[in-house]
Amino acid sequence: MIRVDGHGQAACDGIRRRELLRLGGLSLLGMTLPELLHAEATLPLRPGKGKAKSVILLYLFGGPAVQETFDPKSSAPREIRGAFGSIPTSVPGVHFCEYLPQMAKWMDRSTLIRSATHDQNDHSAGMLYTMTGAPADKLQSLVPVLNTQAPSMNAVVEYLARPHGSTAPSSVWMPCNPGWGQKITRPGPFAGWLGRKWDPLVTDVELRDAYEPKTFYDVQRQAAGNILVPGTKLPSSITLDRFNTRRSLAEQLQVQADRVGNSEAYERFDAYQKRALDILADNSSRESAWRAFDLESEKPALRDRYGRHLFGECALTARRLVERGSRFVTVYWESYDKTGGDPTAWDTHEDHFNICKNHRLPPLDQTYSALCEDLQARGLLDETLVIVMGEMGRSPKVNGRAGRDHWSYVHNILMTGAGVKRGYVHGASDKTGARVTDKPVGPADFIATVYAAMGIDPEAFIEDAGGRLRPITPGGSVVREVLA
């Protein structure tokens, strides 16, 4: 039934699809159907009101192979099985790759989806699809970033969390824009038709110990660097008193702007201006949420446990952010072949087994297990959902260059902690990892399931930048078997 409440909040709950079907030409209290829809769309959705208060997404760009991660094909021929063995996990009958011994211990607190699948067999298109639930309009190499694309999970949470009573960013993407390390920009984290002001906070990065790779597969060491958050420090020439004067002036200007009305361009500028002011003001406090990015206060042993590399330090920062109120933090494994080494990410068309054994699986095993241990020790794992995934898998057959090629038709998603069943495996692929044979899960289904775990209604409609109502998860259905 339609609810008409007197909330003055500028947050969005939306109207369920099944409620739309009942409305027809209905009017209530003199309201037309569009007015009813608008009233319903202004009811609050509350990310974080489900079992998963926050999400930390470890996104393995390039495409991790199911055969060398969470679904070893031990009975397949060697050209399919590959060079690695498997080890038992904490769930009887479930095996992981032998180089993920710490991750295997957490399977009894996890759900593993072995039947994730889509047909966008390209890095940029695959990332757009898996982060938004909607495929690219045109499958092409280097899909551009467009304001007509669906918003990412990060952006939807940023939009729905407003205002959340904290200066902590609701949604963060680290350590850089996807494609930064290759001097391009890939789609994935952005707000699309919601409007760019709802993009997540995307950090920047400064690499250290850089090197120039001889080829795209010349992986020598894990990327390390410093996470940079723009606008978090006052210039030395501005005192705190002078800053507060500027802040007051900005607030007065905002009152005048509200009288005139806002264009989309102004609104986006205004949102960034407010964020910058909030960061600068809050950063002067010892308890500032923005100090989550400063790891110097953490014990050296804990930093060592996560790993003194970008992936590890971003994951530690993610824990510090959710502890301070952030709702959706993506830790992204970038390729840095144009900007200082560690070139391939998980895109291993060549030298796959050497790269995985020595440079990919050990850091993943280390960082994921450290994150889960840390969250559990702090009492946060029961309210935080940790997700490990990429935009695709890799081909069943090893190619002539000792590599595996793109394969979006089968990939795995590991979900640990809040909101999902413990020790549960959902779906399956055939004995070679070529096709899903049971319970396929598409990107929109997965995203709807994450929203449901967070307490977000996946059947809701939200307003785009032009005021039109759009479904939050177009075509997606919650995978109820996964949820606790």
List, for residues 19-66, the tens digit of each pLDDT value.
Answer: 544 444 333 334 455 544 544 544 445 565 679 999 999 999 999 999
DSSP assignment of 348-362? -SSSHHHHIIIIIHH
Can you name the residues that pair with 108 across neighbouring β-strands? none
Please give the pLDDT value at position 474.
84
**CA angle, residues 58, 403, 130, in degrees to nearest 5:** 30
Q: Return the minimum-mean-pLDDT range out of 255-269, 416-430, 432-446.
A: 255-269
Q: Return the minimum-mean-pLDDT range out of 309-318, 332-341, 357-366, 467-476.
A: 467-476
Q: Return the minimum-mean-pLDDT range out of 142-156, 227-241, 404-418.
A: 227-241
- Higher local confidence (pLDDT), 128 or 43: 128
Paired tokens of 53: 């208060």
Please give the pLDDT value at position 8.
33
Q: Which of 167, 126, 152, 474 is nearest to 324 (CA)?
A: 167
DSSP assignment of 142-195? TPPP-TTSPPPHHHHHHHHT-S-SSSS-SEEEESS-TTGGGTS--SSSS-GGG-
In the block, residue with structure tokens 């952006």: 155
Q: Are residues 247 and 379 in the same domain?
A: no
- Higher local confidence (pLDDT), 168 or 106: 106
DSSP assignment of 4-25? -------------HHHHHHHTT
**pLDDT of 423 higher than 90:** yes
In the block, residue with structure tokens 């190499």: 141
User: How many H helices and E strands in the chain?
Assistant: 13, 18
Residue 47 domain flag? no
Structural domain boundaries, residue 415: 53-232+287-457
For residue 311, give the H/E element and its range: helix 310-323
**CA of 17: how far to CAs of 363, 446, 468, in Å?**
43, 18, 15
In whole angstroms, what is the distance from residue 260 CA to residue 270 CA?
Answer: 14
Q: Which string of b and e fits 96-116 if b means at least 16 CB within 10 Å?
A: bbebbebbbebbebbbbbbbb
Q: Are residues 148 and 241 in the same domain?
A: no
Q: Are residues 246 and 195 in the same domain?
A: no
Please give the pLDDT value at position 284.
56
Q: Are residues 227 and 250 in the same domain?
A: no
C-beta separation of 405 from 62 below 8 A: no
Average pLDDT, the chain: 85
Q: Are residues 86 and 131 in the same domain?
A: yes
User: Average of pLDDT values for 458-469?
Assistant: 90
Please give the pLDDT value at position 291.
85
Q: Are residues 148 and 203 in the same domain?
A: yes
Please give the pLDDT value at position 244.
52
**pLDDT of 163 higher than 70:** no
DSSP 420: B
In whole angstroms, what is the distance from residue 480 CA to residue 157 CA?
Answer: 21
Residue 197 domain flag? yes
Paired tokens of 474: 């177009």
**CA of 472: how far to CAs of 5, 132, 384, 445, in Å?**
21, 9, 22, 12
Q: Are residues 293 and 429 in the same domain?
A: yes
Paired tokens of 269: 């500028």
Q: Return the minimum-mean-pLDDT range out of 59-68, 155-164, 416-425.
A: 155-164
Q: Collapse the DSSP code of 343 into the 3-class scheme (helix H, G, I; strand E, B; otherwise coil) and give the result.
A: coil
Q: Are residues 386 and 448 in the same domain?
A: yes
Residue 405 domain flag? yes
Gyration radius of the chain over CA positions: 23
Q: Are residues 273 and 153 in the same domain?
A: no
How sure is the predictor about 242, in pLDDT bands with cuts at 50, 70 and 90? Answer: low
Q: Are residues 409 and 373 in the same domain?
A: yes
List, in sequence order, every beta strand (DSSP E) within 314-472.
Answer: 328-332, 384-389, 393-394, 406-407, 411-417, 424-426, 428-429, 436-438, 461-463, 469-471
Residue 449 domain flag? yes
Residue 43 domain flag? no
Please give the pLDDT value at position 279.
59
DSSP 279: H
Residue 402 domain flag? yes
C-beta separation of 392 from 402 below 8 A: no
Q: Which of 285, 187, 289, 174 is nearest to 226 (CA)?
A: 174
**pLDDT of 240 higher than 90:** no
Q: Are residues 180 and 253 in the same domain?
A: no
In whole angstroms, what is the distance from residue 335 CA to residue 209 CA?
Answer: 15
Q: Are residues 228 and 200 in the same domain?
A: yes
Q: Return the minimum-mean-pLDDT range out of 152-166, 363-377, 421-435, 460-474.
A: 152-166
How sure is the predictor about 154, in pLDDT bands with cuts at 50, 70 and 90? Answer: very high
Q: Which of 259, 282, 305 is the last residue of a domain?
A: 282
**CA of 357: how far to CAs of 311, 348, 400, 466, in Å?**
17, 12, 19, 49
pLDDT tens across 199-212, in order? Answer: 999 999 999 989 99
User: Average of pLDDT values for 458-474?
Assistant: 89
Contacts of 289 (CB under 8 A, 6+ apart): 166, 167, 168, 169, 282, 321, 324, 325, 326
pTM: 0.85
In the block, residue with structure tokens 């669906």: 150
**pLDDT of 336 higher than 60:** yes
Q: Return the minimum-mean-pLDDT range out of 58-67, 226-235, 440-449.
A: 226-235
Q: What whole-number percentage of the chain has pLDDT above 70?
A: 77
Residue 477 domain flag? no
Residue 3 domain flag? no
In whole angstroms, what is the distance from residue 165 CA to residue 172 CA?
Answer: 17
How sure is the predictor about 358, in pLDDT bands with cuts at 50, 70 and 90? Answer: very high
**pLDDT of 429 higher than 50:** yes
- The total of structural domains in the chain comes to 2
